[in-house]
Amino acid sequence: VCDFRSTDERQRDPVNWPAGVQPTVLATDYGLDMGAIATLFRSGPVTADKTRAAMESFYAEMPFTFAAQYARMMRELVEGRAPLAFNCSAGKDRTGLAAALLLTALGVPYETAVADYLLSNETYRPKAPAAGGDDPTARMFASMPKDALQALMGVDRRYLDASFKAIDARGGMDRYLADELKLSPADRETLRSRYLVAAPR
């Protein structure tokens, strides 16, 4: 299991594995920098447009901020250490990009990766943040207009586009996969041979 959550997130919500189940968990100790999101609450009224812009900014940095963790996930798969699961807290942002990058490394068309990413809007049902309590983050979320909260808690094609545009701006996907995710052409061929199934004729 590749757990992309920060140290605080893992400590706050530890996984309670069933009795007798203890997978190998690969995690990195770090503090999650939510600067772009936090700025939302310091720049006047929160709107859906501001929220989407903040999420796009966050996504533009994610391919590089989490490159080492994504590279480790890819290496596990290249080496055949599967089945493999990967997760973050919501399972849509860090995890959503990881899935899109894996599909891309496998040679899947971008539009297919986008369609897969957008499925979170159909399947993810976040808990509504409580208005009271001591958690300042929960209180801030509870105060957001409904459309702004949806922009934060949902997924949007523009977010994934921001990640891929940032990769293109820094040399393109082939360079990113090779230099950031440490995938050689042979590695990518191995991924395809291990995890793609030929369509029936």
Q: Which active-site residues does the annotation give?
A: 88
Alpha-carbon torsion, ordered 171, 175, 179, 181, to 10 deg? 110
Q: Residue 181 in contact with residue 76, Cβ under 8 Å?
A: no
Query: For residue 184, what are the CA distances in angstroms to 7, 121, 168, 169, 175?
Result: 30, 34, 18, 21, 10
Burial label, 17 (beta-carbon count in 10 A; 0-12, 13-18, 19+): exposed
Q: Is 120 helix (H, G, I), strand (E, B) or coil?
A: helix
The two three-digit tokens of residue 192, written as one number: 């395809």
The two three-digit tokens of residue 88, written as one number: 């973050």
Spatial neighbors of 81 by CB under 8 A, at least 6 apart, are: none
Q: Residue 129 in contact with residue 143, Cβ under 8 Å?
A: no
Strand-pairing partners, residue 27, are: 3
Residue with tokens 């590089």: 64
